[in-house]
Structures are given as structure tokens and as C-alpha cells.
Amino acid sequence: MYKVRLDKYLTEMGLGSRSEVKQGIRKGFVRVNGETVVRPEHKVSVKDKVFWKGTSVDFVEYEYIMLNKPAGVISATEDSREKTVVDLIPDSRRKDLFPVGRLDRDTEGLLLLTNDGKLAHRLLSPRHHVAKVYYAVVSGVMTEADIRSFAEGLYVDEELTALPAELDILSVHPAAGKSEAEGSGNPEGTSEIRLKIYEGKFHQVKRMVHAVGKEVIYLKRLSMGSLRLDEALRPGEYRRLSTSELEELYAE
């Protein structure tokens, strides 16, 4: 049975920094299998019964959390000035969570947070072409010509020719008449679209829409592979993945 140092075990379970945990161990805060342990280097395994200040500490190797990312939060693990997606998970058991891929600061929707590097690589690797579906509101009227351009593989700029993508135009709201449009700030109208892409380049959805002469004004990710955003989650809310959701992701 694989064993780790007691201070490492407790630190990974979020009981404090390594130095704080060591200090607590030496003060007698920890009992292992009914006995007080004061040596940080004491080795434990997942089968040992570990208590910190009388509270059981069960080892969790991996966490998988679905977050409905709100706008205004950055997809990072830490930042000295801005709130990060990790800051939104106060009860995480692991302190090494990271977002799988990133959503722009102003983009909402599905974001997976985990400490499972193997799964993250599987979902992000260009070789696997894991589908990502977005809902967007676009300034401008999307057309059948845009659908064909996206399906053929769109030349975006000198850095990106996007893989073929599936564009669905959900609705189009043409510009209102002159009297109604005064002060609207949107003389070209708007469109609502759903877009499925198979890669994850920097600002890809916004760049693709810009390449056909429109601009994204609202963007939300709905799914990533088999994982779909739980509609019960409001922006900023999260939950842990179910066993079936995790199995489906690993089958991608």
C-alpha cells in the first residue's frame, strides 16, 4: 500500500500550508489509528484513520468539479488582483485544482476543475478533437454563407485556419426601423447561434465570428465532450461530477 508523509497528506487535504500542518502535528493535533502522532514524517496510507483536531480527514486523490463560470472571473488558479475560478470552490478537498482549458474573463458557462492531469490532457489534446459547444449572441446577422464557411474550415487569420465547425443559427433579430433603432446602438441587428468546434485556440469563437464580419457580444459554453452544463447551476455555482459523467469523459 502506497504511503506518504503525514504532513504531505494533511497539506494536500487542505488543512493548511506545509509549515502550518507541521506545527499542528507537533502540537498534538493529529491522531492516527487512535494514537497521537507528533512526527510530520510519519507515513500513512489511505487505509489509516487520520483525525485533525478531532475531525476525520479522508484522503481524496482526485476531485472533479463542474462550475458554471460567471463573467468577471478569470480561468486561473491564483491571481493577486482578480478573483479566479478556484476561489469559487471554497470547500474543495484538494488544493491543487486547476481549470481544464480556459474561458475568457467575460465568458460564462461550463468549466471543469480537477487535479487529474491525465484527464485534462485527454480533453485538451488536439489529437482527440473533443467537441466544445457554445451559445453566443452576435452583433450582426449570421447567414447561410457563414454556415458553409464554418463547415468548410474557416480561414481566420495568418495564425489560425479553424477546423470544420458546426454553426446553427438559432434566431435572427434584424435591425429595427429608423424610429425604433434610435439609440439602440445596434443598427445591423443581432443573431443567436450555437457553435460546435473541435479545438480550443485562443479566443477562437470570437475570432471566427469576427472573420465573417460580426462580433460576439455574449458567449457561454454549454458542453465539453460528453459533459453538459447542469442547467440547475446558476452562474458561480458548482457541483461534483457524478460517476457516470466521469466514466463518459474518460471514454472520449
Q: Which one from 87, 96, 104, 230 is the annotated catalytic residue? A: 104
Say if residue 25 is in the same domain as residue 48. Answer: yes
Within 8 A by CB and 6+ apart from 44, the residues are 3, 4, 5, 6, 9, 32, 50
Q: What is the DSSP string of 86-143?
A: GGG-TT-S-S--EESS---TT-EEEEEEES-HHHHHHHH-TTT---EEEEEEEES---
CATH code of the domain containing 33: 3.10.290.10
Quick one: which of 134, 215, 199 has its CA closest to 161? 199
**Residue 176 confidence (pLDDT):** 67
Say if residue 167 is in the same domain as residue 219. Answer: yes
Within 8 A by CB and 6+ apart from 74, the residues are 82, 83, 84, 85, 105
The domain of 103 spans 64-126+226-250
For residues 196 and 74, what is the distance between their CA atoms, to the nearest angstrom?
23
pLDDT averages per 10-residue partition of the chain, 252 residues: 85 88 95 95 90 90 96 93 94 90 95 96 90 97 96 93 96 70 56 96 95 97 97 97 94 82
Q: Where are the alpha helices (DSSP H) in the chain?
A: 6-12, 18-26, 117-124, 144-152, 178-181, 204-211, 243-250
What total number of domains does the chain contain? Answer: 3
CATH code of the domain containing 78: 3.30.70.580
Give yes or no: 91 in active site.
no
Say if residue 154 is in the same domain as residue 80. Answer: no
**Residue 13 confidence (pLDDT):** 85
**Residue 177 confidence (pLDDT):** 58
Cell numbers for 156, please give them.
481566420
CB of 200 closer than 8 Å to CB of 124: yes
Quick one: which of 63, 74, 75, 82 has its CA closest to 12? 63
**Residue 180 confidence (pLDDT):** 42
Within 8 A by CB and 6+ apart from 156, the residues are 162, 204, 207, 208, 210, 211
Say if residue 91 is in the same domain as residue 71. Answer: yes
For residues 111 and 68, what is the distance between their CA atoms, to the nearest angstrom?
6
**Residue 1 confidence (pLDDT):** 56
Q: pTM value?
A: 0.82
Say if residue 69 is in the same domain as residue 50. Answer: no
